[in-house]
């Protein structure tokens, strides 16, 4: 937040670092050493890798790059470089044991808090508004979401619990809202902890479009499944159909059909499919096919951001759908406070000026857009955060953009400008979607 005093900024940094570490503890202290060192899915690292990687990045960015210290354990640095070892190789590396990783975390964090006490939070780009500390708090929270995905993929009895989100208010909402044609500011120059791919701010002029008021629900999606959506190639893109056939997709991941009942497994428990919850665990290809079946399409990334940030009363793009204030429990389902998305229509206080709900939190939303740089993009502070994921010159973009954050994302790593990306075949992530359509010139 740009209006903090120096003292408040330091306190908020310490709070964000602590909040992230509490979550990391909640995701790892509940499992024994064997579970922490096992690879639960080839898509994921063993949890003990994430645990030490979080610490190694904190040491690298804060103690070495900001603090000017030497590497504490140079021999382990390559083990925790995500680009040196793909996830599939990580279980066979000589990783720190869980107790060693925790001790390393404790040691680094103590030194980081000492550094935070004395360092100037201005004067150098990496220090401006505490950016490097914000980067590290966001990084740990991103891995906390990754670790929660590992929990979802893990077999065996449940180890995590959290209260269910409150019920939706149940007020009658229009299915969609129309956003009039016109320019808006996309991206940011002012969000202090924005990552490189969210910058710079730039004008985008959009034709009128309509966008769903709420995310697509399980009940909505089930109609597509039961209408034979997975058997009808005309609803799918050619690559989507090819993938649907090769991977034998027939319903979202973690859904099962037994004795005429649709069930889904979540964090080690099997339960009836909750009809009013946003659909989760679909690939981009499934979202795209559903939208075509519904006579609609996915929103572009720019449409999503205009729906989430543009205030027609002032013409300004705000930080969040509800304004510039940081998210509270009344605005959005974030931070693993609940281990599931809230029913569609929840969080009226988090609605955008047009009345679009649940843009922030609940489920990541697939957009129609490829992950590409904004005009004027500059890689910062390291090429490997975003730039290496952009399409190579002359090649098709490998990643699609997701927006808005899920129930598993912390507020520190979620805002109206935040961009996430993944392969269009991925569905272990907490991804759902909403649909859109062109609204013509008169709307
Ligand atoms: C932005 C979620 C795609 O998890 O691969 C973590 C975040 N970058 N460590 C990822 C990230 C480096 C990244 N995503
Ligand atoms: Fe990382």
Q: Given phi > 0 = left and psi -120 to 50 = alpha, else beta, which region is 204?
A: beta
- Give the closest residue (by CA) to ligand 1 atom 12: 385
Q: What is the pLDDT of residues 137-187, one digit of tens each?
A: 999 999 999 999 999 999 999 999 999 999 999 999 999 999 999 999 999
Rounded CA separation 218/331 (Å): 22
Of 53, 85, 86, 142, the residue with max ligand 1 atoms within 8 A of its CB, to mutate for a pocket test, comes to 142
- Give me the chain's average pLDDT, please: 97
CA of 182 to the centre of ligand 1 (A): 33
Q: What is the pLDDT of residues 231-267, one digit of tens each?
A: 999 999 999 999 999 999 999 999 999 999 999 999 9
pLDDT reading at 441 higher than 80: no
Query: Is 244 touching ligand 1 by the criterion CB < 6 Å?
Result: no
Q: What is the largest CA-CA distance in the chain?
A: 65
Q: What is the pLDDT of residues 257-266, one digit of tens each?
A: 999 999 999 9
Can you list the positions of beta strands (E) in 140-207?
A: 176-179, 182-186, 202-206
Q: What is the pLDDT of residues 179-220, one digit of tens each?
A: 999 999 999 999 999 999 999 999 999 999 999 999 999 999
Query: Is 146 touching ligand 1 by the criterion CB < 6 Å?
Result: yes
CA of 23 to the centre of ligand 1 (A): 17
Rounded CA separation 203/105 (Å): 42
Q: Which of 404, 395, 400 is nearest to 422 (CA)?
A: 400
Rounded CA separation 301/299 (Å): 6
pLDDT reading at 324 higher than 80: yes
pLDDT (mean) for 69-81: 97
Is 365 known to sit in a ligand binding site?
no
CA of 87 to the centre of ligand 2 (A): 11
Rounded CA separation 278/341 (Å): 7
Which bound ligand lies closest to the C-alpha atom of 58?
2
- Give the closest residue (by CA) to ligand 1 atom 7: 142
ipTM for the predicted complex: 0.99
pLDDT reading at 64 higher than 80: yes
pLDDT (mean) for 393-411: 98
Query: Is 150 touching ligand 1 by the criterion CB < 6 Å?
Result: no
Q: What is the pLDDT of residues 272-304, one digit of tens each?
A: 999 999 999 999 999 999 999 999 999 999 999
Confidence of residue 1 (pLDDT cuts 50, 70, 90): low
Confidence of residue 222 (pLDDT cuts 50, 70, 90): very high
Tokens standing for residue 82 = 């995500």
Q: What is the pLDDT of residues 26-52, one digit of tens each?
A: 999 999 999 999 999 999 999 999 999
Rounded CA separation 57/18 (Å): 16
Is 85 known to sit in a ligand binding site?
no
Confidence of residue 443 (pLDDT cuts 50, 70, 90): very low
Query: Is 420 touching ligand 1 by the criterion CB < 6 Å?
Result: yes
Rounded CA separation 59/337 (Å): 28
Q: How many CB atoms lie within 10 A of CB 25?
A: 14
pLDDT reading at 307 higher than 90: yes
Rounded CA separation 385/42 (Å): 22
Q: Report the run of H or E that residue 209 belongs to, with start and end.
A: strand 209-212
Query: Is 386 touching ligand 1 by the criterion CB < 6 Å?
Result: no
Rounded CA separation 428/148 (Å): 10
Is 202 known to sit in a ligand binding site?
no
pLDDT (mean) for 357-380: 98
The rounded Cα 148 to chain-centroid distance in angstroms is 12
Q: What percent of the chain has pLDDT over 90?
A: 97
CA of 49 to the centre of ligand 1 (A): 14
Sequence-ordered list of residues with C-beta below 8 angstroms from that of 435, at least 6 positions apart, any chain: 211, 212, 216, 290, 291, 294, 296, 297, 298, 299
Rounded CA separation 34/117 (Å): 38
Q: What pLDDT score was predicted for residue 440?
A: 84
Q: What is the pLDDT of residues 340-349, one digit of tens each?
A: 999 999 999 9
- Give the closest residue (by CA) to ligand 1 atom 13: 142
Confidence of residue 3 (pLDDT cuts 50, 70, 90): confident
Confidence of residue 2 (pLDDT cuts 50, 70, 90): low
CA of 7 to the centre of ligand 1 (A): 30
pLDDT reading at 442 higher than 90: no
- Give the closest residue (by CA) to ligand 1 atom 1: 420
**Of all atoms in ligand 1, which is nearest to the CA of residue 146?**
4
**Of all atoms in ligand 1, which is nearest to the CA of residue 422?**
3
Is 90 known to sit in a ligand binding site?
yes
CA of 141 to the centre of ligand 1 (A): 10
Confidence of residue 88 (pLDDT cuts 50, 70, 90): confident
pLDDT reading at 115 higher than 90: yes
**Of all atoms in ligand 1, which is nearest to the CA of residue 420?**
1
CA of 183 to the centre of ligand 1 (A): 30
Query: Is 142 touching ligand 1 by the criterion CB < 6 Å?
Result: yes
Is 139 known to sit in a ligand binding site?
yes
Whose tokens are 């902890």? That residue is 193
């Amino acid at each position: 937040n740009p209006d903090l005093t120096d003292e408040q900024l330091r306190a908020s940094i310490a709070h964000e670092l602590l909040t992230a570490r509490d979550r990391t503890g909640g995701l790892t202290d509940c499992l024994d050493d064997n579970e922490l060192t096992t690879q639960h899915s080839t898509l994921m690292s063993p949890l003990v890798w994430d645990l030490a990687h979080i610490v190694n990045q904190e040491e690298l960015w804060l103690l070495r790059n900001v603090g000017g210290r030497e590497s504490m354990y140079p021999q382990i640095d390559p083990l925790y470089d995500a680009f040196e070892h793909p996830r599939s190789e990580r279980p066979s590396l000589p990783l720190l044991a869980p107790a060693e990783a925790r001790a390393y975390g404790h040691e680094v964090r103590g030194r980081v808090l000492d550094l935070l006490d004395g360092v100037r939070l201005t004067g150098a780009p990496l220090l401006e508004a505490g950016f490097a500390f914000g980067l590290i708090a966001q990084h740990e929270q991103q891995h906390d979401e990754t670790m929660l995905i590992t929990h979802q993929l893990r077999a065996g009895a449940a180890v995590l619990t959290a209260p269910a989100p409150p019920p939706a208010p149940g007020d009658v909402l229009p299915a969609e809202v129309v956003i009039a044609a016109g320019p808006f500011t996309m991206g940011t120059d002012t969000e202090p902890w924005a990552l490189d791919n969210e910058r710079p701010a730039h004008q985008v002029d959009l034709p009128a479009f309509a966008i769903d008021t709420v995310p697509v629900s399980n009940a909505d999606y089930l109609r597509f499944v039961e209408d034979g959506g997975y058997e009808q190639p005309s609803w799918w893109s050619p690559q989507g159909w090819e993938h649907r056939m090769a991977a034998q997709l027939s319903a979202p991941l973690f859904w099962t059909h037994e004795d005429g009942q649709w069930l889904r497994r979540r964090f080690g428990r099997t339960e009836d499919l909750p009809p009013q919850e946003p659909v989760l665990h679909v690939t981009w290809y499934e979202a795209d096919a559903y939208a075509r079946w519904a006579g609609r399409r996915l929103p572009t990334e720019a449409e999503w951001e205009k729906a989430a940030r543009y205030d027609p009363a002032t013409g300004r793009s705000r930080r969040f759908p509800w304004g510039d204030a940081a998210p509270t429990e009344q605005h959005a389902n974030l931070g693993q406070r609940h281990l599931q998305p809230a029913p569609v229509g929840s969080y009226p206080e988090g609605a955008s000026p047009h009345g679009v709900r649940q843009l922030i939190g609940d489920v990541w939303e697939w957009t129609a857009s490829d992950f590409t740089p904004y005009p004027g993009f500059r890689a910062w502070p390291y090429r490997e955060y975003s730039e290496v994921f952009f399409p190579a010159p002359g090649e098709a973009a490998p990643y699609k953009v997701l927006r808005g954050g899920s129930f598993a994302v912390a507020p520190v790593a979620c805002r109206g400008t935040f961009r996430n990306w993944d392969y269009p075949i991925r569905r272990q992530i907490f991804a759902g979607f909403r649909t859109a359509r062109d609204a013509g010139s008169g709307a």
